[in-house]
Amino acid sequence: MKIAIIGVGNMGGAVCEGLFNTGMDASWEITASDASLEKLELLKAKYPKLDITTNNQEAAKSADVVIVAVKPWLVKPVVEELQMTPSQIYVSIAAGVDFAQLESYTCLKGQPMFRVIPNTAISDQQSMTLICKCHTTAEQDELINQLFGSMGQVLFIPESKMAASTSISSCGIAYVLKYMQASIQAGIELGLTVQEARKLTIQTLIGAATILKEHGQHPATEIEKVCTPGGLTIKGINQLEHDGFTSAIINAMKVSM
């Protein structure tokens, strides 16, 4: 299978790294294209099997799957120049650009298309990747499921849920990291070293996520277990509520749709 990645910025580059870090199927051939030769050469230095070019058409012309990972305002001019064929699978990684727009850019009715929104953890095979589809077959669905499933978890959803889901999984990773940043800063203020605060924060987050993943409990149930009567944790939880923590998270996700 030949895969073309058009655009190797933060997300396109992460997808490229993720594919190579999976160990790759021996039959995969990956070509990356970008206006920046410097970015391409940095990737090539890490992954010698990667083919690189600054010509988008050259990268896409013989690809089975074309992954367009440019900024939303660049999708139209980039896709129009690719001159894709009906046999190619078009994957768009651009938030807010819907299927109706994408189809008008390709100028092909019935073009097999996927909208895919990973998060940056895809480079380490830990993405929560959202996928919606249009004009695709069951075989094509399975192909894209396997491709992105090799780099984390995937969830197929209707296009109508893409914006809400993106705010939680794609934008949401930044909100989780913001909490972690605050936790580390608090640790330093309380007398810990950066390294100590960082280690404590990371493992605590992994532990909390593992509890929910493995046991399927509601977060409130697990919080209750930690909040003993008159204890320290309930004081902290109440302070978070007084300071608007829950509302701040909900509002951040709502404005990022």
Q: Report how far residue 257's alpha carbon sits from residue 254's, in angstroms, rounded to the nearest whole number.
A: 6
* 3-state SS class at 154: strand
- Percent of the chain at pLDDT above 90? 89
What is d(CA 19, CA 13) in angstroms, rounded to the nearest whole number? Answer: 10
Q: Which of 75, 66, 64, 1 is nearest to 33 (CA)?
A: 66
Res 229: pLDDT: 95
Please report the pLDDT score of residue 25 as a whole number. Answer: 66
Question: Is the CB of residue 78 less than 8 Å from the CB of residue 68?
Answer: yes
* 135 within 8 A of 111, measured Cβ to Cβ: yes
Q: In the CATH scheme, what is the code of domain 172-255? A: 1.10.3730.10
CATH class of 2-162: alpha beta
State pTM to two decimals.
0.91
How far apart are the two ends of the chain, measured CA to CA in Å? 34
- Per-residue pLDDT at 122 exceeds 80: yes
Tokens of 154: 């995937």
Each domain of the chain, given as residue ranges in start order, spans 2-162, 172-255
What mean pLDDT value characterizes the chain?
A: 94
Does residue 123 sit in helix, strand or coil? Answer: helix
Quote the pLDDT of residue 24.
Answer: 66
What 3-state DSSP class applies to 130?
Answer: strand
Q: Which of 165, 102, 166, 107 is nearest to 134 (CA)?
A: 102
Banded model confidence at residue 230, pLDDT cuts 50, 70, 90: very high
Percent of the chain whose pLDDT exceeds 70: 99
Number of helices (H) and strands (E) in the chain: give both, helices first: 12, 8
What per-residue confidence (pLDDT) applies to 3? 96
Q: What's at 232, amino acid-wise?
A: L
Closest of 70, 121, 122, 120 to residue 91, by C-alpha: 70
**Average pLDDT over every residue of 112-134:** 95
What is the rounded average pLDDT of the residues 10-24?
Answer: 89
Residue 235 has pLDDT above 90, yes or no: yes
Render pLDDT for 166-224 as a digit per residue (tens, 0 to 9). Answer: 999 999 999 999 999 999 999 999 999 999 999 999 999 999 999 999 999 999 999 99
- For residue 108, is pLDDT > 80? no
